[in-house]
Amino acid sequence: MKTGKRTGIGKWLGVLGALALTLALIAPWNPAPGPSPLPTSAHAGFFDDDLEVFEEVLDLVAGNYVYPPDYKTLFESSIQGMIAKAPEKTLTVTDVYSGQVLKHNNTRLSYRLSFSRHENMGAFRSVYYFLANEYQGQLKKKDIEQAAIIGLMSSLDPYSLYMDKSDFERSMRDTEGQYGGVGMVITLQDLKLTVVRTLKNSPAERAGILPKDIISQVDGQTVEGMQINELAERLRGYPNTKVQIQVFRPSTSSTKEITLTREIISIETVEYKNMGDGVGYLSINSFSKQTNDQLQVALNLALEEGITAFIMDLRNNPGGLLSQSVKVASHFLNKGELIVYTRGRDRNDMQTYQALYKNTLTHLPLVVLINKQSASASEIVAGSLKDSGKALILGETSYGKGSVQTIFRMSDGSGLRLTTSKYYTPSGIDINQHGITPEILVEKDLPENGNSNARREAKGPKKESGSRARNLATHLKEAELIDYLKQKGYTITGSTDPLVEFAKLVVRDIQHPSKSHALAKARELANDIHY
């Protein structure tokens, strides 16, 4: 991976910390073309390390960001980040042409910015040392530097960000799809940290912890006033380490001290359910390193049960690893079919990803469900299956997050998530601009004019235009699906998912796996609903 030229002492060693894990934006998060080691960046090791991490970040942005760097904007944001760290009302800031004048007590500093990285670095250093000297004892140099990095990253796209060491470790752990923990799902109920459930065969389950138990202490410290994420951090840790918790059980008004030994807890990202009539339901809630393995287990079970058609639910799936999205889509495509391609700053910087497997499930009908919160890796899967003609897409137009982030590890253990490329569906759709548009649009709200003719003639979301919009076949309302299901004798309860039931009606009697057959069936059902 390319890195920019270093300007500071010791920076000639280069950034060794490009962590070749590229996420198809989290979340959330996101993915590299293939596996590679995870070295840390080189540390200068002599003189001082002032601004070393800042320059590492600047090099990475200069060399790898999906768009050419605007050095004036980058340094403006960095300097404003540092200035914001100064104690309130102690620093006077006066705007001048292309820069500012800073005044603290009787000390003044003026600086100007240009479009030159070298010139701006000099101005930036002046501001950094001005603040470090003027607020000595009040501001630490590392805190000023971190504020500058956060400011720099804020000038980029919303998916690029800096992570301190703890946030970076948490991000990597979540991407792995497993962590050292005790296996409890916790919520904040009546200002009390309350157990919702324990995971099967987890340390918490084996210790007898029950739903509605209240966590009152961790390792002898009260958790009163603590947020869920703070408690989660205390409960998590390296496998085979111990954590002591105090649990209050309201049903018996009893308190108990429990010592738990942390274990690797796998995060279940795939749910399978046999819906009957030969239809299997697959829900994928994110794309972690465990997702494809979990999907393979679910598919094997489904085939053993005689499933002849699938519903894949990607609603509310924020994304995850690009590599996993490619593997998931590969189960339903012919080997070698294009799934997605990425393009970086240089238009020649292009990489394609094809389906990986032989003997796949292309002979079985497939419906994919998406909504406004289906993003990133979810859109890769839905887009490839739509463009290939292998699946019918139902639901809402997806989020529209079509950029790829690469994770970099800094020399101090912090990390950077940087947008390095954009991805496109096989037909060339820029997901950032359009999202994935379903063939059957099912929304919770009526169009503004509210009449059924408008629904049938709808051209799709405003961000779709031209032939893509004209290809949108049908526009339905969720309430209409519910009414239709009631007419067909369904018992509607709070747990009934009308879109899943509609998808089942579409796929259960189809004998041919092509999207055209599923779309014809869906249109037939939609006409029944409208009339």
The three-state (H, E, C) secondary structure of 12-58, written as one string: HHCCCCEEEEEEECCCCCECCCCCCCCCCCCCCCCCCCCCHHHHHHH
422 noted as active-site residue: no
**332 Rama sector, left if φ>0, alpha if ψ -120 to 50, beta otherwise:** alpha
Q: Where are the beta strands (DSSP E) in 373-473?
A: 392-395, 403-409, 415-424, 440-443
Structure tokens at 70: 């605007």
Candidates 49, 50, 387, 412; catalytic one: 387
Decide: residue 520, CB within 10 A, 0-12 exposed, 13-18 middle, 19+ buried: middle
Side-chain half-sphere CA neighbours of 399 within 13 A:
21
401 among known catalytic residues: yes
Which residue among 289, 401, 422, 504 is the active-site one? Answer: 401
Strand-pair partners of 343 = 350, 422
CA–CA separation, 515 and 164 (whole Å): 46
State whether the Cα torsion 176-182-187-191 is positive or negative. negative
Report how far residue 292's alpha carbon sits from residue 326's, in angstroms, rounded to the nearest whole number.
9
Residue 177 DSSP SS3: coil
What's the token pair of residue 296? Answer: 């393979």
Q: Which residues, at least 6 apart from 295, have a Cβ–Cβ distance to it below 8 Å?
A: 270, 282, 284, 327, 328, 331
Q: CA 42 to CA 10: how far, in whole Å?
A: 9
Annotation marks residue 387 as catalytic: yes
Q: Let me know if 444 is exposed, middle or buried by CB neighbors in 10 A (0-12, 13-18, 19+).
A: exposed
Indicate which residue of 283, 323, 325, 376 is catalytic: 376
List active site positions. 376, 387, 401
